[in-house]
Amino acid sequence: MSEPNEPVPGLKQKKVFKIIVLGDSGVGKTCLTYRFCEGQFLDKSEATIGVDFRERTVRIRNEDIKLQLWDTAGQERFRKSMVQHYYRNVHAVVIVYDVTKPETFHSIANWMQEVESHGLTGAPRVLVGNKCDCGTPESRLATTYAQRLADKHGMPLFETSALLDSECDNVESIFMTLAHKLYSKQPLRVLSVEGERGPRLVTLSRQKRNNSSNDSCLCS
Amino acid sequence: MESISPDGDSGDKYTINGDCSPTSNKDSNSLNHAKNIDDISTPSELKFDEDFEFEDPDVTKKRKELEKCLSNPDVVNLEQWVNFAKSKAGLISDEYRRKIWPLLVGVTQEEMTEPPSLDELSTHPEYNQVVLDVNRSLKRFPPGIPYEQRVALQDQLTVLILRVIMKYPHLKYYQGYHDVAITLLLVCGDKASFPLLCRLSYGPSAPLAPFMQTTMQPTQHLLNYMLPVIRRADERLSDCLEKSGVGTMFALPWYLTWFGHSLNRYADVVRLYDYFLCAAPLFPVYVTAALVLHRAPDVLLCDCDMAMMHCLLSRLPDDLPFEDILVTAKKLYDENDPTDLEPEVAALEKREEQQRRADEERMRRRAAERAGRGRAGGWRALPAALRRPGPRRAALALAAALLAVYVYYRPDLFREREDDL
Ligand SMILES: Nc1nc2c(ncn2[C@@H]2O[C@H](COP(=O)(O)OP(=O)(O)O)[C@@H](O)[C@H]2O)c(=O)[nH]1
Ligand SMILES: [Mg+2]
């Protein structure tokens, strides 16, 4: 229906990449997608009932790409029959846990299983530890521990915070990484590597940047 | 968020008592309001932005009748209350609702008992999920509510929910139940809302009971009635929805919360509750149908795409004419009895089942292909240092993104599966 390469006669339509965001209830899926799409922290987040949807257009190699983020309910009972439908035509997966709640990290195995049961094993996936502004370094789940699991599943790990403005680049890179990965996966595209590293590549539109020098992460 | 300055203090703020929720200005709020917490026992004192400047003459007349009935409620029968609740403007004000909602569902004074303390309930297995959702219900409170009052109400809300699911252990909490519970709590207070919520949750025709089963299958089935109702009323609209593949998910929060979750205006929510409290259990589904029919012009203009359609439908505008929508819904209900619709719903569900099977088959084929080609390429890309949160984070993050770009443009570094795109 909206495969990214579908040619639309007479219309120069944007490519669309669909990304599904998974993870236990309360880990910050809604806040992360909101941060990426709206450029700010969602002050009064509410429980997600069913599936929510946000999108943002990003520019990759001078081409506008639409990223569709499907933000899902974390509660188990919504998943079986309901969310299933939304795995159809998904291109990439983000799995989120809360660095201050080990049990949300331990659920990752279940989420991986769910991803696999929907035939998405080969789709690009990233692991995100959220709320790194919270707690003390000792109370947060150790990065090395998370890294080991990420490596085991062959996915990159990001640790970030949807709350901190200083972290917005990092939230940005979660989704931009996936976008570039998906872009590069497109068949029949001549990819030149030279000159691909210039900043013009990642056009971070709508981003509100205010990186003052004292704007450092609370977690270090 | 400006209120969180990245200095040492705020770092600590989140670690005290393990509260991670970034509630802004917590401290200043708690200092400035000396309002008595007892006030919460009369919740209608909490004012949502109501507009009393102009009142429809019909409503003024109805207000007088309501007051007359309430001055001598024993001579008023249920039918009269139902009539007030359903007709234009509903029960008008929370002051009346507080007295009439219990009557509509047949709750007696004796059932309104003192709630237990939160501590007694905190061992319940659903406790954490309930607290998580209750803590995120800020939008449902009147704007400007003092901090202590809000927190006290949130505790009452948690107690209310847990009390019901402890009384009926086979009923399962769902995200959205808290939106119903808070509406009852804000209007009727903690004592009356418990038996009210029990009536809505438990029993053969309790409207929320289907949502509280082990799976969401029964809910999904009931929500499916929306589609044939729409089809019978507007075939072109129905074709458009079907072609987009949008399904019914956009209406799920409407149905599960009786719109409490999805409408910004409190007055609209309580107006709908007036009606739903005394309507057939499936009536809210007819309201979702009426609402979609009302928005037909927008729907027909929308890109025929699942995401776009979901987005358009799930966000409700603030100026919906609910009195008209309720009239339409009633008409739809009278003309399309649920039992009449059963064959159409069954056909729809059969098509969905076939689609699901086809999807599964497609997935199996993909998996088999993959197995034939060996394991998919990984992401052994980013050096750990770039992914870790560190002091020079912004620069590193950008560098990480750029490196990621570089690496992902080198497909030769990976063995790729191309068939996903
Ligand atoms: N401290 C902190 N709180 C967060 C962060 N992200 C989300 N939250 C809070 O965590 C709670 C759950 O967030 P939400 O996005 O609704 O979680 P979801 O259920 O995964 O969608 C909310 O109260 C948020 O305000 C974060 O990065 N840091
Ligand atoms: Mg959410």
Residue B406's pLDDT is what? Answer: 43
Alpha-carbon gap, residue A155 to A141, rounded angstroms: 18
Helices (H), A26-72: 29-38
The closest ligand to the CA of A29 turns out to be 1
Over residues B154-177, the mean pLDDT reads 97
Residue B355 pLDDT grade (very low, low, confident, very high; cuts 50, 70, 90): confident
Query: Does residue B321 surpass a pLDDT of 90?
Result: yes
Whether chain B has a CB inside 8 Å of the CB on A165: the answer is yes
Helices (H), B8-117: 8-13, 26-32, 57-71, 78-86, 94-104
Q: How do strand A15-22 and strand A51-60 relate by DSSP bridges?
A: unpaired
Whether chain B has a CB inside 8 Å of the CB on A20: the answer is no
> Ligand 2 centre from A23 Cα, in Å?
9
The closest ligand to the CA of A42 turns out to be 1
Among B27-36, B41-50, B195-204, B372-381, name the most confident range.
B195-204
| Minimal CA separation from B389 to chain A, in Å | 6
Residue B47's pLDDT is what? Answer: 65
Instruction: Kindly state the tokens that stand for A133.
Output: 């502004």
Alpha-carbon gap, residue A198 to A176, rounded angstroms: 15
CA-proximal residue: ligand 1, atom 23 (nearest): B21
Contact between residue B344 and residue B228 where contact means Cβ atoms under 8 Å apart:
yes
Q: Do B174 and A75 touch (CB under 8 A)?
A: yes
Judged on CB neighbours under 10 Å (0-12, 13-18, 19+), B371 is exposed
Hey, which bits of B232-387 come out as E strands? Answer: none
Residue B49 pLDDT grade (very low, low, confident, very high; cuts 50, 70, 90): low
Q: Judge whether A199 lies within some domain.
A: no
| Minimal CA separation from B402 to chain A, in Å | 6
Q: Identify which of A90, A82, A87, A78 has the alpha carbon closest to the alpha carbon of residue A25.
A: A78
Among A12-26, B29-43, B328-342, B387-401, name the most confident range.
B328-342
Residue B373's pLDDT is what? Answer: 65
| ipTM metric | 0.80
Higher pLDDT: B374 or B120? It is B120
| Minimal CA separation from B24 to chain A, in Å | 8
Q: Do B136 and A44 touch (CB under 8 A)?
A: yes
Q: Coil, strand or helix: which one is A60?
A: strand
- Annotate B381-404 with b (16+ C-beta within 10 A) or e (fewer): bbeeebbbbbeebbebbbbbbbbb
CB of residue A25 inside a 6 A radius of ligand 1: yes
DSSP B46: S
Q: Judge whether A4 lies within some domain.
A: no
Least confident of A101-110, B40-49, B259-268: B40-49
Q: What's the pTM? A: 0.81
Which helix H or strand E contains A20, and what residues bound it?
Answer: strand A15-22
- Strand order across the A157-159 sheet: A51-60, A63-72, A15-22, A92-98, A125-130, A157-159
Residue B30 pLDDT grade (very low, low, confident, very high; cuts 50, 70, 90): very low
> Ligand 1 centre from B34 Cα, in Å?
30
Query: Does residue A121 surpass a pLDDT of 50?
Result: yes
DSSP A154: T
CB of residue A26 inside a 6 A radius of ligand 1: yes
Domains of chain A: total: 1
DSSP A90-149: --EEEEEEETT-HHHHHTHHHHHHHHHHTT-TTS-EEEEEE-TTSS-TTTSPPHHHHHHH
CA-proximal residue: ligand 1, atom 6 (nearest): A28
Q: Do A196 and B405 touch (CB under 8 A)?
A: yes
Residue window 81-140, chain A: list those with CB within 8 Å of chain B.
81-82, 84-86, 88, 91, 100, 118-119, 121-124, 126, 131-136, 139
Q: Do B394 and A51 touch (CB under 8 A)?
A: no
Q: Across all residues in chain B, what is the average pLDDT? A: 82
Query: Does residue B190 surpass a pLDDT of 50?
Result: yes
Contact between residue A69 and residue A55 where contact means Cβ atoms under 8 Å apart:
yes
Alpha-carbon gap, residue B186 to B190, rounded angstroms: 8
Alpha-carbon gap, residue B5 to A214, rounded angstroms: 10
Domain around A112: 15-190+206-215
Q: Judge whether A196 lies within some domain.
A: no
Which CATH number covers residue A114?
3.40.50.300
Residue A156's pLDDT is what? Answer: 95
Residue A186's pLDDT is what? Answer: 66
Q: Which of A21, A25, A31 should be mutated for ligand 1, with most atoms under 8 A from CB? A: A31
CB of residue A45 inside a 6 A radius of ligand 1: yes
Higher pLDDT: B275 or B10? It is B275
Q: What is the pLDDT of residues B172-186, one digit of tens each?
A: 999 999 999 999 999
Q: Identify which of A186, A159, A161 has the alpha carbon closest to the alpha carbon of residue A42.
A: A161
> Ligand 2 centre from B215 Cα, in Å?
20
Q: Which amino acid is at B309?
A: M
Q: Do A3 and B421 touch (CB under 8 A)?
A: yes
Query: Does residue B125 surpass a pLDDT of 50?
Result: yes
Query: Does residue B67 surpass a pLDDT of 80?
Result: yes
Domain ranges across chain B: 364-420
Contact between residue A219 and residue B420 where contact means Cβ atoms under 8 Å apart:
no
Q: Coil, strand or helix: which one is A57?
A: strand
Residue A79's pLDDT is what? Answer: 83
Alpha-carbon gap, residue A17 to B3, rounded angstroms: 34
The owner of tokens 């929320």 is: B208
Least confident of A145-154, B81-90, B151-160, B355-364: B355-364
Least confident of A199-213, B214-228, B231-245, B253-267: A199-213
Instruction: Kindly state the tokens that stand for B415.
Output: 């063995």
